[in-house]
Structure 1
Amino acid sequence: MDPVLLAPPRLSAQRARIVIATIFAVHGVVFATFATRIPWLQDRLGLSAGSLGAALLFGAIGGLLGMPFASRLLHRFGGRRTTRVLMAAWCIAGALPVLAPNLAALIPLLLLYGMTSGMADVAMNAQAIPVERDLGKSIMSGLHGMWSVGGIVGSAVGVAAAHAGLDARIHLAIVDAALLVVALGATSKLPVNLPDAAEPPPKPFVVPSRGVLLIGLVAFCAIFAEAASSDWCAVYLTRITGADPGIAAASYTAFACTMAAARFGGDFAVRRLGLRSTVRIGGVVGTLGALLVVAAFAIAPTIVGFALIGLGIAVTFPLAVAAAGHADPIPARGISGVATISYGAGIAAPGIIGGIADATSLQVSFGVVAAVIAFIAVGARYLR
């Protein structure tokens, strides 16, 4: 186990769990706040589906470049300091894309957005692994449930802001400034875990083992579906069903709510059904949801479809992250491996969806999403 990530005895496991859960929630609010205003950004800059998708692809590139360095930063500077800096950077970067005056300016801002999001994600997941060991039970699904709760809060505020016609620049500036204060307060309560100079720093780029690759492939499918749905659900409702911006933004709320509910129940489901069965059933449910999105042209069933996608894919990524973190003597390295595979490629989903939509239609794009989710059910056997 990496000494950098060990919590000192003075911080109880239960208290550490609450602190980390707060950090997960803040991360989710920042993400959802931007996601609900993507249609506003598209309209303001006059972007086509393909141009928007290509721009969002740079968020994936940022994550791909940043994530492999997270474990090295944790080793060098310690868990609390690294997580504190990365969460602050994420809160700031989350408010920047809507400030872009044109597509050329949007691209580097989304690159920074992806880098800070991915690195902060690895750091907070790595902090959770030793707490899970101390408690002697699975908590990762519940922590990711807190991320989804943050998504619900952020999307609810986004729905209200969209209904009111509030300028997204003002909306994000206010919300993310408040989140910055919360993030700094929560990370200040993390244990002071100093780096271990005797242990060599992990290399930022290492070829994952076969086991990690297989886990990462299943996680990739879940993140692909999650990214595609969260970034495109509001646009889908607007373009395909003719929903107004407020109703369209509510589709992300439905998606986030079902993800949160499933993640809070995920640890219990694993104990009752087993890990593979839980993931396999979720893959089937998510596939049915994506097919409903493709087949429906009305507002209500389309929102239900996105809700089913969220319900089906919710526990796959948290369980994959936990498996990777426990499998590697340096948890951040195992997490970074799976996260780089899944996020580095999975966050590319918005760009892929946009490209397919430009060439064909949004319905065809979500037919691809249905096929990707179906692989989760098939690949559940790789998670042990």
Structure 2
Amino acid sequence: MIARATTTDRSHVAVAAVFVVHGAVNGSFATRIPWIRERLGLSAGALGLALLVPALGALLAMPATGALVHRYSGRTVTRVLIALFAASLALPALAPSFGWLCVALLAYGALAGMADIAMNTQGLAIEEHLGRPIMSGLHGAWSVGGIVGSAIGVLAAHADLDARIHLGTMAIILVVAGQLAARQLPAAPPVHDPPRLAWPSRPVLLIGVVGFCAVFAEGASADWCAVYLRDVMGTGAATAAAAYTGFALAMATGRLTGDRVIARFGAIHTVRTGAAVATAGALLVVVARTPLLGIPGFALIGLGIATVVPLAFAAGGRAVPHAGQGIAAVATVAYGAGLAAPGAIGAIADVASLPAAFVVVAMLTALFGLGAGALRSGTDSQRSSYGR
């Protein structure tokens, strides 16, 4: 029993390290987008179009990944996909034209989504063996990786380091780190009759809608918080940037501490409380006309939504016989909000105003609280004892 617990704990550390690597790839790329834009001479419209391509790649690739992680050993699939995703970090900076940039970003996004499904499936399997929640902490590890990757990227950009050298070097480092971590994952055997690609069941779709609402609030806040402070409150660039910092730190903190909260109060109560916190934050943003209220408002949104996506993934994985298939379905629905949110907020702001757009965010955060009971289909009625 002690040996099994030690092995499972080692696997927990390993999958957390894989999440860190995945986050570091994303954080590294984000910091060098301005360099790529300047090198290729892209307009704002062309850059915006190019940055939609990774999300499209992920949405196209994720549905098929659920079957892949069951057809072959989960550890093998995770090792291969995290290596390919880390290696793809070098591609965007090497693109010689807008067309090739889109091709590179399509591969980057598809591999990001596939690796995401694989590592979340591994995380859920380890959570089952441990008998306690770890998914929120794993997503917190992803946030930490993003912060580390972006910090290194900021230093590289400040030193005016060529992004081809920076991203190429980071790709090599993260490929090696990902392999060292993934080799410690449990060697789950393949399923002899793996699931076929199929339309998600109603319970899984409802769980996906809960995730969609949270991801929409995340995307809206991350992409628009600095603009909100500049346009609505008339702040300077540094103060506006602090809104994103507050949001990101609050969300990372909520994820890193979320497992203890979930273990104590249960998934459904945690999501409902998070919905109340996020809705209060969104409404505070709506009425705020000073950064002293606006920044805490965005931080409350981040804190409130922090555990929702990890819990939705876990519930989706438990709602069907093959966890990877459920996670892939929930991720596809939820991450669709990543495509919808920036444009939807901009459209509402054009027609009405940015505060009016965040009324919609408040409505969606309240909605995932009302829909929190959907998580029960993947918790209480399945194998988990903490989904109350």
TM-score, length-normalised on structure 1? Answer: 0.83
Q: Deviations over 1:121-141 (max 9, x none)?
A: 110011122211211111111
Matched, 1:200 2:181: no
**1:208, 1:347 → 2: CA distance?**
20
Q: Deviations over 1:237-261 (max 9, x none)?
A: 67775655x7766654433321221
What residue in structure 1 maps to residue 382 of structure 2? Answer: none
Give the counterpart letter for 1:203 in structure 2: R
What residue in structure 2 maps to residue 229 of structure 1? Answer: 221
**Contact map agreement 2:70 2:324 (CA 8 A) in 1:** no
Matched, 1:312 2:304: yes
**Contact map agreement 1:221 1:375 (CA 8 A) in 2:** yes
Q: Secondary structure at the match of 1:192?
A: coil
Contiguous gaps of at least 5 residues in structure 2: 377-388
Q: How many residues in Structure 1 have an aligned counterpart in Structure 2?
A: 372
The offset of 1:55, in angstroms, is: 3.1
How has the CA–CA distance of structure 1 residues 183 and 351 changed in structure 2, closer, same or farther, with 3 Å as cutoff?
farther
Q: Deviations over 1:118-159 (max 9, x none)?
A: 110110011122211211111111111211221222233344
The offset of 1:336, in angstroms, is: 1.2
**Contact map agreement 1:54 1:354 (CA 8 A) in 2:** no
Alignment counterpart, residue 113 of structure 1, candidates 87, 102, 108: 108
**1:56, 1:364 → 2: CA distance?**
26
What residue in structure 2 maps to residue 375 of structure 1? Answer: 367
In the TM superposition, 1:1-384 aligns within 5 A as: 12-38=7-33, 41=36, 45-48=41-44, 51-100=46-95, 103-161=98-156, 168-196=163-191, 199-204=192-197, 206-233=198-225, 243-244=236-237, 251-293=243-285, 302-353=294-345, 365-384=357-376
Q: Secondary structure at the match of 2:195?
A: coil
Q: Deviations over 1:30-58 (max 9, x none)?
A: 2222334445555664433x554433332
Q: Deviations over 1:181-213 (max 9, x none)?
A: 2112111222333424xx222113x11111111
**Contact map agreement 2:88 2:171 (CA 8 A) in 1:** no
**2:293, 2:151 → 1: CA distance?**
20
Deviates more, 1:251-260 or 1:123-132: 251-260
How has the CA–CA distance of structure 1 residues 72 and 271 changed in structure 2, closer, same or farther, with 3 Å as cutoff?
closer
Q: Deviations over 1:49-107 (max 9, x none)?
A: x5544333322221111111112222233112111111112112234335445544433
Q: Secondary structure at the match of 1:12?
A: helix
How has the CA–CA distance of structure 1 residues 71 and 178 changed in structure 2, closer, same or farther, with 3 Å as cutoff?
same
Give the counterpart letter for 2:119 in structure 1: M
The offset of 1:177, in angstroms, is: 2.9
**1:170, 1:286 → 2: CA distance?**
40
- With a CA cutoff of 8 Å and minimum separation of 6, indicate the structure with the bigger relative contact order: 1
**2:98, 2:225 → 1: CA distance?**
21
**Contact map agreement 2:272 2:369 (CA 8 A) in 1:** yes
RMSD: 3.3
Q: Secondary structure at the match of 1:342?
A: helix
Give the counterpart letter for 1:212 in structure 2: V
**1:28, 1:217 → 2: CA distance?**
24
**1:181, 1:363 → 2: CA distance?**
45
Q: Deviations over 1:281-315 (max 9, x none)?
A: 21232233344555556666554443222211100
What residue in structure 2 maps to residue 5 of structure 1? Answer: none
How has the CA–CA distance of structure 1 residues 160 and 152 changed in structure 2, closer, same or farther, with 3 Å as cutoff?
same
Give the counterpart letter for 2:248 in structure 1: A
TM-score, length-normalised on structure 2? Answer: 0.82
Q: Secondary structure at the match of 1:383?
A: helix
Give the counterpart letter for 1:47 in structure 2: S
What residue in structure 2 maps to residue 3 of structure 1? Answer: none
What residue in structure 1 maps to residue 383 of structure 2? Answer: none
**Contact map agreement 1:94 1:113 (CA 8 A) in 2:** yes
Deviates more, 1:119-128 or 1:353-362: 353-362
